[in-house]
Amino acid sequence: MEPAQNTEALDQQFKEFIQGIKKAVAAGMPHLKDDPKVVDQSIADCKEILDVVMEGNVKEWLS
Amino acid sequence: MFTDKVDLKDFEKQDPEYQDLLRRVLAIQADCEIGGPNLYVKDILPNAPTKLDQLIVARTAAEEMDHFRKMARLAGDIGVDVSYTLSRPNQERYVEAFRGQITTWEDYAVFGFLIDRVGRFQLEEFLGCTYLPLARVVEDPDIIREEEGHVDFGTNATAEFAAKGGESKERIQKAIDYWYVKGLDMFGNSKSYRSERYMFWGLKRRPNAVARQQYKDEIDALILKMGLTLPDPNKGRLYT
């Protein structure tokens, strides 16, 4: 059975998105009480990735 | 009743109905998984009440994206490209509950409480199913545990709003009234022929009506425990 085109590439791209968000969340969580700048940066990093995902421009990601 | 266990290498040897049903259910499941973040990321991530809540929203979205990835991989492996679900407008989602936009924290809470709970029920349908790659994905403890985490967060947040009383309770009741029937509708038509075929092929475990009733029993008890009012289960329903 031939997989659909881009199956592997989409899977890899999503792994990167997911790891990026989880890494940003993990960076911010320990500093909720002591370093608002770190937390703000974490949230900004999450937002940057999520904005790309929500835009859904798959062709651009995989090109 | 079909009881064989099918792996990817044997997929093409299966009955065309089996292949069609599996392709269909994986596309719908992928659409629902990415449909959640598309409902709430835009407005809720920047406007969640606290920074902790913002990080939780981001982490929840990442977990749903990972569920999407797993379903997209299963679909892709049998020749179905579900990447169109990433760019389609919310209004075109397969399931009605994902066709709007979540703009309030109350709606985000109840979405977790009621709609992510349907998500957990839907994933549980595939436990022990005849298509082994799908069974393996849902039997990996991560996916159900993450979904339960989203449900628990939503349930606790909803209960907190209800416990505050006054306007908070009124606002959360309004959100319950909105999402309650959407959750019930997500189980589809009780007399669905396709639902029977899914069961025949061992791709789902319960008839739509049974799963819906189990879900309803679970949420009704929780809503009443929170001191909230049960909405009319028939008002505004698309499927019965």
Q: pLDDT, tens digit, for every residue of A41-51? A: 999 999 999 99
Q: pLDDT, tens digit, for every residue of B31-65? A: 999 999 999 999 999 999 999 999 999 999 999 99
Give backbone dihedrals phi and psi of B234, rounded to 5 degrees, phi first: -105, -10
Inter-chain residue contact A1 with B81, CB threshold 8 Å: no
Q: pLDDT, tens digit, for every residue of B13-33? A: 999 999 999 999 999 999 999
Q: pLDDT, tens digit, for every residue of A3-34? A: 999 999 999 999 999 999 999 999 999 999 99
CA distance, residue B58 to nearest chain A CA (Å):
6
User: The complex's ipTM?
Assistant: 0.98
- Measured between beta carbons, the chain A residues lying within 8 angstroms of B87 are 55-58
Report residue A1's pLDDT band, with 50, 70 and 90 as the boundaries: confident
* Cβ of residue A6 closer than 8 Å to a chain B Cβ: yes
Q: pLDDT, tens digit, for every residue of B169-210? A: 999 999 999 999 999 999 999 999 999 999 999 999 999 999
- Measured between beta carbons, the chain B residues lying within 8 angstroms of A6 are 76, 81, 83
Which residue in A34, A35, A29 sits closest to B59, CA to CA?
A29
Q: pLDDT, tens digit, for every residue of B100-149? A: 999 999 999 999 999 999 999 999 999 999 999 999 999 999 999 999 99
- Measured between beta carbons, the chain A residues lying within 8 angstroms of B81 are 4-7
Inter-chain residue contact A58 with B55, CB threshold 8 Å: no
Inter-chain residue contact A1 with B45, CB threshold 8 Å: no
Size of interface A-B (CB pairs under 8 A): 104
- Measured between beta carbons, the chain A residues lying within 8 angstroms of B78 are 1, 3
Residue with tokens 């407005």: B43
Which residue in B36, B234, B8 sits closest to B147, CA to CA?
B36
Question: Does residue B240 carry a pLDDT above 90?
Answer: no
Question: Does residue A63 carry a pLDDT above 90?
Answer: no
Closest A-chain CA to B65: A18
* Global pTM value: 0.97
DSSP string, B41-87: HHHHHHH-SSHHHHHHHHHHHHHHHHHHHHHHHHHHHTT---THHHH
* Cβ of residue A43 closer than 8 Å to a chain B Cβ: yes
Domains and CATH numbers, chain B: 14-225 (1.20.1260.10)
Which residue in A12, A48, A1, A41 sits closest to B133, CA to CA?
A1
Name the 3-class secondary structure at B102. Answer: coil
Structure tokens at B196: 């029977």
